[in-house]
Amino acid sequence: MHPAFESILARFDGEPDIELGTGWGKSPGLRVRRKIFAMLVDGELVVKLPADRCAELADAGHGRAFRSGGREMREWVVVGEEHADEWLGLAEDAHAFVGG
């Protein structure tokens, strides 16, 4: 598992309403009240954020749209390992978005 994702898991360990499990498929993921907000897919962070924030990250070259079943998911963004220093903050934003 990627060290930056392990830091995310440690950050949310013991938080109320947080479950560690899988995202979609067998990817490790985090849920708040049973809703996925962050997962590790093929060594990259995937988080759920407002669509405009996802577009902003993609436009800045810090992420790209997440695709599931060939369909682009507007409120999901993939952030690669080259931006792993941003993962924790993005996971916290995703938690606030999904859990808020």
Ordered domains of the chain (ranges, CATH): 3-99 (3.30.1460.30)
Tokens representing 96 are 């606030």
pTM for the structure as a whole: 0.92
- The DSSP annotation for 62-94 comes to S-EEEEETTEEEEEEEEE-GGGGGGHHHHHHHH
Whose tokens are 């990817």? That residue is 27
Residue range 47-98, pLDDT digits in tens? 999 999 999 999 999 999 998 888 988 999 999 999 999 999 999 999 999 9
* Rounded Cα gap, residues 99 and 85, in angstroms: 23
Average pLDDT over every residue of 11-20: 90
pLDDT at res. 18: 93
